[in-house]
Amino acid sequence: MGCQLNDIFEVSLLSHDEAWDLFKEMAGNSVENLQINPTAKEVAHECGRLPLAIVTVAKALRDKEHYEWLDALGQLKTSTVSSFTEMQECVYSRIQLSFNLLGNDEEAKSCLLLCCLFPEDYDIPIEYLLRYGVGLRLFKGLTTLLSARYRVHTLVDKLKSRYLLLDSDKKECIKMHDIVRDVSLSFATRAEHRYMVCCDKERKEWQDEDKWHRSTVISIFIEKDKDKFPTGLECPQLKLLHVSTFDYRSKIPTEDSFFPGMRELMVMTLSKLSISSMPSSLEALQNLHTLCLDSCKLENISIIGTTLKNLEILSFARSYIKEFPKEIGLLSNLKLLDLSGSKLKRIPSGVLTSFSRLEELYTRSSRLEWEYWKGEHSVSGNNASLIELKSVSPQLKVLTIDVREHDLLPKDLVLEKLERFQAYIGKTERPPFVLRVLFPKIVSYLTPNVLEIVSTDHKFMKENIIIQQLWKKSEILRLENVDGLNKIVYEEGLPKIQHLEIKSCCDLEYLDDSSYWKCSQYTAFPDLMKLSLVSLPKLKEIIICQHGPDHMMPPCNCYRSLRSLEVYSSMELKSAFTWFQATSLGQLQRLHIGDCDKIEFVVSSAKSKKTNPERNQSGPVL
């Protein structure tokens, strides 16, 4: 039988045949092994015909050795939990087995337990798992935040493959089914973990001061006017504190007695709270590595810089913050600063240069106003300029940024270690391209490399080192109102581009040039999947053939991945491709051409005299 994620967690029983078919589908071909098959049938029988139990157990045992099947069978036959009903016990033991079969993968187990900190049916940001895991020192042997982020996404995929986590409709989020969450919470509250999660049906527990004293991880969701935050608590073992509310009216206590009892705290998130000032007792948190003040109303927070010397991750994402204190520049160990979507307008000059270990800087969709620069300093001396990024360039690996005026971007800025970026350069009345089209209304941290350039000229682009650097690494490229640009591809090609949009570039005549097709190694757009060309009045050809339209044919790997092509308002275009150029478009599925007055052919009938009889000449799949 087929199985969809939405069907997996139904508690209705399958028939015996349906249960065995589902088990075989999830466990793979190993169940047909003569030695394993009898044991596999016993294991399937122990799953009690429950889809959840079948899927979790079978996926966990996929391609395992016979002795592992025998061990799993023994665990299933002996597991009992008195606090659950008979059916709940069955599901519990199966999820417990899937959890146990993670073996020594403590990182995966820890990620799963961290997902319990959020309410039922919550879209859990994977980025929180990264920031919490780094703060708690969960990931071993990793030297950068980016490598840790890749590790977290790998762990999430592993947990999803065991059906312990589910996909979310929101980008870079995951979900945990209520049943899996309940069972995981039972693991998380054991002596070795001691989680206290107070949201949904667990809300009443958070006023129990004894539980605060024993807990290592606490997560609280506060309801307005219903919950009063406790003060003066002793939490000698607390490592992580997550406090969130559903509006901005709730406040954390500012008494000096609030933090002294939390000296072992390593991670703290305060979300959707109003914080007029941080209590001076914050200085007790010398072990704090991660501080997320997201979606908060913030006023006096200068004490963060003067006290939290070991802080590595600091986030003000989506927060209203009046002023970025210059004292934040004292955080010499800071590796990640997130200002995404914040209302912050100014960073004091010199603050960025003090972050000698900064690896990731997120300023996308904020209201930051960068200063003009002269030499190595900003003109006014009061506001930060982009020239300050030079001081962090040796270790900066991730950058998201809006630069509304081209003159603010230093021509000689080089970020040689940069791996991931989202850069929006130039004034535009629309929201940034990647937000508007790909990731609306969310903050993303593992998106494709995006470069958007609006309202400038080709000379500026050619003279600017950082633009040339980003150009070659871009996976999504959008150009609008770029004067003097007559072609896109040069000798090195654009090997990483997946999505290309060009609009209102009045001098553009063609994208690619056949004079670069000197050998089969040339790859102009090998990974390009979507191409959009709009309002290009001089566009004559997508690929110009210098020696006539029938002289050369593109290498077989050019445009090999193109699936969607849109061409609008390009009055000089007579045909999109020659016949031989079209033979490399085997993946093309969607073609829209409109308002192109001189168009005669989508694919011209001209054929090359220099043919290769061995070449596959099949056309687009439309």
pLDDT at residue 95, as a whole number: 82
CA distance 11 to 141: 41
Q: What residues pair up with 224 in beta bridges, in sequence order?
A: none
Q: How far does Cα 294 stand from its chain's mean position?
A: 17
pLDDT at residue 440, as a whole number: 40
| Pair of tokens at residue 217 | 């991880």
* Model confidence at 183: pLDDT above 70: yes
- Residues whose CB is less than 8 angstroms from the CB of residue 307 and which lie 6 or more positions away in sequence, other chains included: 282, 283, 285
* Model confidence at 477: pLDDT above 90: yes
**Letter string b/e over residues 583-605, b meaning 16 or more CB atoms within 10 A of that residue's CB:** bbbbebeebeeeebeebeeebbe
Instruction: pLDDT band for 151, please (50, 70, 90 cuts).
Output: very high
| Pair of tokens at residue 49 | 């015909």
* Model confidence at 427: pLDDT above 70: yes
CB 415 within 8 A of CB 399: yes
Give tens-digit pLDDT for 195-250. 888 876 555 566 667 778 889 999 988 776 556 666 677 888 999 999 988 776 66
- DSSP 8-state assignment for residue 370: P
Give tens-digit pLDDT for 381-425. 678 889 999 999 999 999 999 998 888 888 888 998 999 999 999
CA distance 542 to 531: 11
* Model confidence at 129: pLDDT above 50: yes
Q: Which CATH number fits domain 104-193: 1.10.10, 3.30.70, 2.60.120, 1.10.3470?
A: 1.10.10
Give the number of C-alpha atoms closer than 13 A to the C-alpha of residue 77, restricted to the C-beta side: 10
Give tens-digit pLDDT for 554-598. 555 567 888 999 999 988 888 777 776 777 778 889 989 888 888
Q: For domain 194-338, give the fold.
A: 3.80.10
Q: Which CATH number fits domain 1-101: 3.30.420, 1.10.3470, 1.10.8, 2.40.50?
A: 1.10.8
CA distance 130 to 457: 40
**Letter string b/e over residues 164-178, b meaning 16 or more CB atoms within 10 A of that residue's CB:** bbbebeebbbbbbbe
pLDDT at residue 513, as a whole number: 64
Give tens-digit pLDDT for 319-365. 998 789 999 999 999 999 999 999 998 999 999 999 999 999 999 88
Q: What residues pair up with 454 in beta bridges, in sequence order?
A: 480
User: What is the per-residue DSSP string for 125-136?
Assistant: EHHHHHHHHHHT
pLDDT at residue 616, as a whole number: 44
Instruction: pLDDT band for 187, please (50, 70, 90 cuts).
Output: confident
Q: Distance of CA 492 to CAs 268, 468, 475, 488, 523, Å?
A: 46, 12, 15, 11, 8
The three-state secondary structure class of 248 is coil
CA distance 518 to 499: 25
Structural Rg of the chain based on CA atoms: 29
Q: How far does Cα 514 stand from its chain's mean position?
A: 37
Element (H, E) at 167: strand 166-167
| Pair of tokens at residue 246 | 């559903």
CA distance 156 to 165: 7
CA distance 164 to 52: 10
CA distance 538 to 509: 5
Give tens-digit pLDDT for 238-292. 999 999 887 766 677 666 767 878 899 999 999 988 888 888 889 999 999 999 9
Q: Angle of helix 126-135 relative to helix 106-114, nearest 10 degrees?
A: 120
Per-domain residue ranges for the chain? 1-101, 104-193, 194-338, 485-622
CA distance 570 to 593: 9
